[in-house]
Amino acid sequence: MRVPVSRHNGLDIYYERTGRGPPLVLIHAMPFDHHLWLYQVERFSSRFTTIAMDLRGWGQSAKPRQRFTLEDMGADVMGVLADEELASDAIVVGCSVGSKIALMLACDHPDVFKAAVLIGGNSGLQAQFDHRIAAYKAEHAAGTLPAYHLGHLRHGVTAAWADTPTGRYLLDGFVERGADLDPDSIANVFEAVGTSDLTPRLPAYKSPTLIVNGQHDNALKGGTLTASLIGQAEHFILPNAGHCCFVEDPATFNARVQDFLVRNRMWP
């Protein structure tokens, strides 16, 4: 059996392919991994070929210490699709850093991606990551990275959900799988995201786009601004949920995505 690793760009990028149908590409948020999309893979793989990958720096993908760009991370995604011969008629879905990568790919490759779903994202420059970079390095040096990782994971959801049995179970899994996280590689991811500005490209961007934020998402302001800069964008705020709203309330999120795809004639 072929190992689900793409080496298209000289790095190991781990991914999982599930289902049959048009490609639905799922790009996770930091500090999670591809398991963040477990409910979407379960729901949509009956009609789509879901591709859920670990970004470089996370999960089972390579953790390079040399500097790289958001474009390099986007090339990883395109490499997976090329390896799987799925580089057409795709829909790209991303959260947070994944949202920015998804938007960049939708702008760069309208021939590949027919639509985009952007969750908890920001299209502009983001200069607020210095404290995260310093903390990951300090906590790693002190041997306390798992505890810090858990705290960062909790920042991506509401406290009410994180403290449920399901929330605790899922977040603990991300911590366990993050045992080999490298703070220098994580710093490169933060820097690639923070220094990328897509806003000048948005007036010319024409693909159907659904922007989703949780009601308590700290990126709500950025999502609202991005939606205002894309003339054809729809903006949906999911009540009582945080940054990764689709893991907190998958039923509502999945139904909204399905409605969006049906109305845009992209539901198989």
List the chain pLDDT tens, one digit each, 268 residues.
466 999 988 999 999 999 999 999 999 999 999 999 999 999 999 999 999 999 999 999 999 999 999 999 999 999 999 999 998 999 999 999 999 999 999 999 999 999 999 999 889 988 778 999 999 999 999 999 999 999 999 999 999 999 999 999 999 999 999 999 999 999 999 999 999 999 999 999 999 999 999 999 999 999 999 999 998 999 999 999 999 999 999 999 999 999 999 999 999 9
At 127 the pLDDT is 74
- Report angle CA 90, 92, 96 to the nearest 5 degrees: 175
Residue 9: what pLDDT? Answer: 86
The residues spanned by each domain of the chain are: 5-263
Q: Which of the four CATH numbers 3.40.50.1820, 3.40.50.360, 3.40.50.970, 3.20.20.70 does domain 5-263 have?
A: 3.40.50.1820
Other C-beta atoms closer than 10 Å to the C-beta of 231 total 11
Residue 121: the pLDDT is 84
**What are the two backbone dihedrals, phi and then psi, of residue 108, each rounded to the nearest 5 degrees?**
-75, -30
Helix or strand (DSSP H, E) at 50: strand 49-53
Angle at which helices 70-83 and 183-194 pack, to 10 degrees? 100
Between CA 203 and CA 135 the distance in angstroms is: 37
- Residue 45 tokens read as 């793989």
pLDDT in tens, 13-61: 999 999 999 999 999 999 999 999 999 999 999 999 999 999 999 999 9
In angstroms, the Cα distances linking 158 to 35, 39, 61, 129 are: 18, 18, 27, 20
Give me the pLDDT at residue 2, please.
60
Supply the DSSP symbol for 54. Answer: P
Tell me the whole-structure pTM to 2 decimals.
0.97
